[in-house]
Chain A
Amino acid sequence: MNFISKAAKKSPWIYRINAGSCNGCDVELATTACIPRYDIERLGCQYCGSPRHADIILITGPITVGVKDKLLRVYEQVPDPKVTVAVGICPISGGVFRESYAIAGPLDQFVPVDVNIAGCPPRPQAIIEGLAMAIDIWASRA
């Protein structure tokens, strides 16, 4: 591990993409995983508003047909190295929406997925564990 990846391990900035999610996973991500009780900022995490600042991308939702192109455009704007995390069962398999005519997913057809966090929605503890795995992968790439 060199100097930069040691520092990078302590500074993973995270970015959320909602790809047609029902908002359940987003609520878990945005509020539960970030409120004082869990406080992922102590791992150095920071939600960023712009994909250009991001290191770890959290994708929720089953990738609807309409959102697929936008998702790929935003994904391209995240500078390398980056880590992709699928949050909830929808991006992993389609969840309750699988085989629907409106769904283009699952996610791993379009982008390389590094960590899957299953659940509908996943528990905050599961999200934090998934993030910890993502941080290890991110540090090995930086």
Chain B
Amino acid sequence: MIGEFFRILFAVLVFPGGLFAIALGLLLKGVERRLVARLQRRIGAPLLQPFYDLVKLMGKITFVPDLADTNVFLMTPLIGVASMSLAMAMLPIAGVYAPSPMLGDLLVLFYVISLPALSLMLAGSASGSPFGAIGFSREMALMLAYEGPILLVIVSVALHVGAASGRGPMFSLAEIVQYQIRHGPLILDWRMVPAALAYAAFIPANLGMPPFDIAEAETELLEGPLLEYTGASLGLLKLASAIKTVAIAGLGVALFFPNGPGGVLGVVAFAAKCLVIVGCLSVLKAAVGRMRIDQAVVFYLRWPVLFGVLSLAMVAIHV
């Protein structure tokens, strides 16, 4: 029991959560910035720029605005970082790491990965700034729109794996990864392709990247919920968003193509898959503008829902 506890603690704080996720997440952010700069024919910031930014922010003064609720204002960045480290500890990496069953299954993970968005909403409303409040309302509208399709994706994967192994819906991520190692990645199954597309559409909205960076829109809301944050607490919010990049990309990898070698090579393969996802996001970021909030909500309630229902229906009929 005690050994299990320390194993979970290690998973949350060092690998694959905590230190590993921070290093990989910041590196992915650096690659994204560099790639976008190159696509705009600029030289761009150094690859390690997010590390420099983070260290610098830790050395600056932290202000709390007069209108802000001090406790909530300073606690929310911590919630973001903690929940994302936990989410990383719940993600299996094929051949390298299997999460402890005590940590919970896919449905618990579904709630944990929505915590950073909630903490961002709380941060926006607690900062006492009108820009933060607008960011809060936009984040909430967007979240209501994209949480539905992602649940459809999770349920179709669980039903598919459960039916194929002759049992009920299978919500354990470790079992889903095991199934794919034995039978090949789910993305090659034509019934799962619409679900994978729905998940791909969900990634930019959850990570707050163009064309869905509506809540933190730099040019109209001045980064919305982040507006009033300074110093270390701003650094923690940036850190949470870096770990979130790994966690959301990692969940996509675990759900649709986890196959890879074991040992150190498995970690490299995982990082490479995350890199491919972030590379696609960067190309999108350099190529498109920002949608309005009403367009984004209609988009999410139309296409990802349609694809999710399509996958779910095909899985249900084949049962």
Contacts and interface: CB of A to CB of B under 8 A. Distances in A.
A11 B52 contact: yes
Given A7-B52, A49-B223, A39 B37 contact: yes
B293 interface: no
Nearest to A139: B56
Given A49-B223, A53-B229, A79-B230, 7 more contacts: A4-B56, A11-B56, A36-B42, A41-B37, A50-B222, A53-B223, A80-B61
Interface string B50-75: 01110110111111000000000000
Contacts of A80: 60-61
Interface size range on A against B: 20 to 34
Interface of A: 3-5, 7-8, 10-11, 13, 36, 39, 41-42, 44, 46, 48-50, 52-53, 55, 77, 79-81, 142
Contacts of B53: 11, 13, 44
B218 to A, nearest CB: 5
Contacts, number: 83
Q: Which of B44, B60, B222, B227 neighbours the largest number of chain A CB atoms within 10 Å of its CB? A: B60
B295 interface: no
User: Helix, strand, loop or mixed for chain B's interface?
Assistant: loop
A4 B58 contact: yes
Contact of B45 (A41, A52, A79): A41
5 contacts: A41-B37, A41-B44, A42-B44, A44-B45, A77-B63
B227 A7 contact: no
A36 B40 contact: yes
A10 B61 contact: no
Contact of A8 (B56, B63, B229): B56
Interface string B164-188: 0000000000000000000000000
Q: What are the 5 tightest A-B residue pairs by CB atom distance, in nearest-first order?
A: A49-B222, A7-B55, A4-B59, A10-B52, A11-B52
Nearest to B48: A10
Interface in B130-158: none
A79 B51 CA distance: 20
Q: Which of A53, A79, A142 neighbours the largest number of chain B CB atoms within 10 Å of its CB? A: A53
